[in-house]
Amino acid sequence: METGSSQSKGTSRAASAANISAEAFASSRPGEELSLEDMEQMARKLRRHIVTMTAKAGSGHPGGSLSAVEVVTALYFGLMRHDPANPNWPDRDRFVLSKGHAAPLLYAALAECGYFPVEELSTLRQIDSRLQGHTDRTTTPGVEMSAGALGQGLSFGIGIALAGRLDFQPYRVHVLLGDGECDEGQVWEAVMAAAHFKTDNLVAIVDHNKQQLDGWTRDIMNLEPLAPKWRSFDWHVIEIDGHDLPQVIAALETAKQVKGQPTVIIAHTTKGKGVSFMENNPEFHGRAATAEELEKALAELA
Amino acid sequence: MPVEMSAREAYGRTLVELGRENRDIVVLDADLSRSTMTSLFAREFPDRFFNCGIAEQNMMGIAAGLAASGKTVFASTFAVFATSRCFDQLRMSIAQPQLNVKIVACHGGITVGEDSFSHHSIEDLALTTSLPGLTVIVPADAIETAQAVKAAAATSGPCYIRLGRPKTPLVYAEDYRFTPGQAVTMRPGSDATIIAIGIMVALALEAAESLASQGIDCRVLNMPTLKPIDRDAIVQAASETGAIVTAEEHLEHGGLGSRVSQIVSRYRPVPMSFVAVKDTYAQSGKPHELLKRYGLAAEDIERAVQSVIPRKLSDQAHR
């Protein structure tokens, strides 16, 4: 059940000062919309968090976290109305991370927003940490869905979208899917259902980094032609460069205008983006950087 | 009230009642609404009913999303599809996050009948009781079904309610009140206890009646809440009657028998016997034929009691 107060309005400036790390930028107060330039800096900062926390944990999924950084930055520091001081605010825009292994990315964004202290990122994957290896709705403030077994997030998003419609709530629902995740049959059950129910308050974003654990998606299980597949299911399809923040923002804005059908943003991305030796290297789907690699990665992301 | 009624009919009627009282009740089905009787709710509240088509996994995810947004969600299909097909969705999307989804599945067990093994559900209780945080209820008749559905709606959290297909005898009077987590003594007795669930409760009462005529005084317990199970009632039955027979329309492993024997062996070891489907899939047939073929008839319960009492006496002699 929702427990949040309905009195909150828009983005919040209310997160307690204690939640803001000394490391945080002065311009990145919780829940507040950033300028494009600050967003670019925030994206870089999220990347640093991702490689650092996974390296510290000694495991995790940096590759698929790095590929979706701009999408998540645009949502949490730009488009979404949310309140880090009140994670259960019923009016909030939702972000559902269906590719639950990209938890480090979501944790980094939530921490920078002020849902929990940035210092807590260093507890990733440790016993008793609120930051589990894959997302857990019951432990982490701001996490909407327990995920990690792939293919379930879009269905969950449809449920939230239908509830919003029943309650005349204006919130919007964003679901981030992996491209490899689209191998799962349930994704396509949901694709069909969302169009059938005309959930135009729902946006799916496919992090199309062209790789999955065992290699290139074209070799493991070919997804192409991907855009025509979604179009034939009666979705509004937008294809973008998923690392170009203005394109990400423009696509999300366009999606708001689309009526009578859901929108999918196919974000063409690079797995491991931002760290030269992780880019397009499937090894870093599920492996963290060594101490030496981390140093090199942070130098590149400085 | 007729002497026989199907649990799913009671379910459909109760949903309509609940829908009138609470506008946050939302119902989902997977193209079986005329069998599960959610069609009654759909007719009265079309805006709060979503037919998800033949896509049960997606239905469970949608149910979870609705529940995460404050709705009390009932999701219905046949038991076999709600559990074995959707097990990961039950686990990931509903049970672990403790979302307020009531999975009410009809066509549990083998009395589905002619549709054969693909539609029989004899693993669902093993699957659902294995999930931490999921309440599992198996009502004994239409009256208990209505009560259990109302109790589930009134309690936040995930719940699996298993119903049967056929019309079955009513074992309760109209004024019966179901209490979650509590066993119900259907008949007192001191020589042995039959613990039964679902349609087996009526058969257990029939068996006890027949045993009484042979001078065997048999207690009958209905265990409508399989999880969390009423440990005290089981321990008490073991202590007071010294022998236990479980009866369920389910595989012998993983269901009622397994759960009861775990408690009995830990707290009060006594001889037990299990009336259940042995390690096999059932075939097509009329419900009563199948119950007989697979060892679930009243006579089978009777024989199980007859076999367990000598073991009890022999144990006592050796003490």
At A167, the amino acid letter reads D
Residue pair A97/A176 in contact by the 8 Å Cβ criterion: yes
Specify if A29 maps to a domain.
Answer: no
B292-307 pLDDT, tens digit per residue, is 999 999 999 999 999 9
For the segment B4-15, the average pLDDT, to the nearest whole number, is: 95
Domain count along chain B: 2
Nearest residue in chain A measured CA to CA from B87: A149
pLDDT at B318: 82
With 90 as the cut, is the pLDDT of residue A17 above it?
no
If asked whether residues B122 and B228 sit together in one domain, one would say no
Q: Which of A300, A298, A302 is nearest to A55 (CA)?
A: A298
Q: CB distance B48–A162 less than 8 Å?
A: no
Number of domains observed in the structure of chain A: 1
Q: Give how far the C-alpha of residue A290 lies from the chain's centroid of Cα atoms, to the nearest Å.
A: 25
Q: Range of B300's domain?
A: 184-317
Size of interface A-B (CB pairs under 8 A): 113
A66, A275 Cβ separation under 8 angstroms: yes
Tens of pLDDT along B233-286?
A: 999 999 999 999 999 999 999 999 999 999 999 999 999 999 999 999 999 999
CB A165 within 8 A of CB A199: yes
pLDDT by residue (tens digit) across A217-256? 999 999 999 999 999 999 999 999 999 999 999 999 999 9
Say whether B68 and A159 touch across the interface (CB within 8 A): yes
A-chain CB neighbours of B52 within 8 Å are 193
Residues B153 and B219 in one domain: no
CATH code of A155's domain: 3.40.50.970
What are the chain B neighbours of A167 within 8 Å (beta carbons)? 69-70
Per-residue confidence (pLDDT) for residue B316, from 0 to 100 = 85
In this prediction, residue A14 carries a pLDDT of 34
On whether residue A275 sits in a domain, the answer given is yes
Element housing B195 (H / E): strand B192-196
Residues B26 and B91 in one domain: yes
- Cβ-defined contact of A156 to B88 (cutoff 8 Å): no
Interface test with B, best of A155, A172, A181, A196 (most B CBs within 10 A): A155
**Mean per-residue pLDDT for A279-291?**
95
Give the model's pLDDT for residue B315.
Answer: 85
- Predicted confidence at residue B2, as pLDDT, reads 54
* A160, containing H or E segment: helix A153-166
Treating both helix axes as pointing N-terminal to C-terminal, what angle do A245-257 and A36-57 enclose, rounded to 10 degrees?
110
Rounded mean pLDDT of chain A? 91
Rounded to a whole number of angstroms, the distance from the CA of B275 to the nearest CA of chain A is: 36
Please name the amino acid found at residue B271.
P
pLDDT above 80: residue B204? yes
Q: Is residue B178 part of a domain?
A: no
Looking at the structure, do residues B35 and B120 belong to the same domain, yes or no?
yes
CA angle, B150 as apex, B43 and A139 as ends, to 5°? 105
Q: Residue A28: pLDDT above 50?
A: no
Strand partners, B222: B184, B196
The partner residues of A205 in beta bridges, in order of sequence, read A176, A265
Instruction: Assess if residue B160 is contained within a domain.
Output: yes
pLDDT in tens, A104-162: 999 999 999 999 999 999 999 999 999 999 999 999 999 999 999 999 999 999 999 99
Q: How far is the C-alpha of B299 from the C-alpha of B85, rounded, in Å?
A: 34
Nearest 5°: CA angle at B56, between B50 and B60? 70
Same domain, B51 and B98: yes
Pairing mode of beta strands A202-208, A173-178: parallel
Q: Across-strand partners of B277?
A: B251
Question: Can you give the CATH number for the domain in which B91 is found?
Answer: 3.40.50.970
Q: What is the mean pLDDT of chain B?
A: 97
d(CA B34, CA B52): 14
Give the phi and the psi of residue A108 in degrees, each rounded to 5: -60, -45
Query: How sure is the predictor about A33, in pLDDT bands with cuts at 50, 70 and 90?
Result: confident
Residue B125 lies in a domain: yes
Report whether the peptide linkage leading into residue B2 is cis, meaning its omega lies within 30 degrees of zero. no
Range of the domain at A102: 35-300
B70-125 pLDDT, tens digit per residue, is 999 999 999 999 999 999 999 999 999 999 999 999 999 999 999 999 999 999 99
pLDDT band at A18 (very low <50, low <70, confident <90, very high): very low
Q: Which of A153, A163, A193 sits opposite B66 (nearest CB)?
A: A163
Q: Are residues B142 and B107 in the same domain?
A: yes
Amino acid letter, residue B104: V
Q: Is B161 in the same domain as B206?
A: no
Q: Are B110 and B251 within one domain?
A: no
| pLDDT tens digits, B148-158 | 999 999 999 99
Model confidence at B172: pLDDT above 90: yes
Tell me which chain B residues have a C-beta less than 8 angstroms from the C-beta of A147. Answer: 92
Best mutation site among B69, B72, B88, B99 for testing chain A: the one with the most A CBs within 10 Å?
Answer: B69
Asked if A152's CB is within 8 angstroms of B92's CB, the reply is yes
Q: How many CB atoms lie within 10 A of CB B47?
A: 9
The answer to whether residue A15 sits within a structural domain is: no
Q: Looking at the domain assignment, is residue A10 inside a domain? A: no
Residues 6 or more apart from B213 whose CB is under 8 A from it?
A: none
B86 in Cβ contact with B56 (< 8 Å): yes
Residues B204 and B160 occupy one common structural domain: no
Which is higher by pLDDT, B185 or A9?
A: B185
Residue B219 in domain: yes
**A152 is a domain residue:** yes
pLDDT at B136 over 60: yes
pLDDT value, residue A11: 38
ipTM score for this prediction: 0.96
What percentage of residues in chain B have a pLDDT greater than 90? 96
- Cβ atoms A252, A202 nearer than 8 A: no
Contacts of residue A96, defined as CB under 8 A and 6 or more positions apart, other chains included, come to: A144, A145, A147, A153, A156, A157, A160, A173, A174, A175, A176
| A292 has pLDDT over 80 | yes
Asked whether residue B34 falls in the same domain as residue B158, the answer is yes
Residue A7 domain flag: no
Q: How many CB atoms lie within 10 A of CB B57?
A: 25
Same domain, B192 and B150: no
How far apart, in whole angstroms, are the C-alpha atoms of residue A221 and residue A214? 10
- Is the CB of A159 less than 8 angstroms away from the CB of B66? yes
Of B110, B144, B169, the last residue of a domain is: B169
Q: How far apart are CA A132 and CA A141, in angstroms?
A: 12
Torsion angle (degrees, nearest 10) of CA A108, B58, B17, A168: 50
Q: Are residues B112 and B260 in the same domain?
A: no
User: Which chain A residues touch B59 with a CB distance below 8 Å?
Assistant: 155
In the listed set B106, B137, B169, which residue is the last one of a domain according to the structure? B169
Q: Report whether A150 contacts A181 (CB < 8 A).
A: yes
pTM for this one?
0.94
What is the band of A85 on the pLDDT scale with cuts at 50, 70, 90?
very high
For residues A145 and B84, is the Cβ–Cβ distance under 8 A?
no
Determine, yes or no, domain membership for A27: no
> Is the per-residue pLDDT at A201 higher than 80?
yes
pLDDT at residue number B317: 85
Mutate to test the interface with A, among B31, B47, B92, B155 (most CBs of A within 10 A): B92
Alpha-carbon distance B43 to nearest alpha carbon in chain A (angstroms): 17
Report CA-CA distances (Å) from A262 to A96, A174, A176, B138. Answer: 15, 11, 14, 39
Judge: B89–A138 Cβ closer than 8 Å, yes or no.
no
pLDDT (average), residues A77-103 = 97
- Nearest-CA neighbor of A66 among A282, A244, A273, A284? A273
CB A116 within 8 A of CB A19: yes
User: In this structure, is residue B175 part of a structural domain?
Assistant: no
Chain B nearest CA to A88, separation (Å): 9
Residue A12 lies in a domain: no
What burial letters (b/e) apply to A135-172, b meaning 16+ CB within 10 Å?
bbbeebebbbbbbbebbbbbbbbbbbbbbbbbbebebb
CATH of the domain at B248: 3.40.50.920
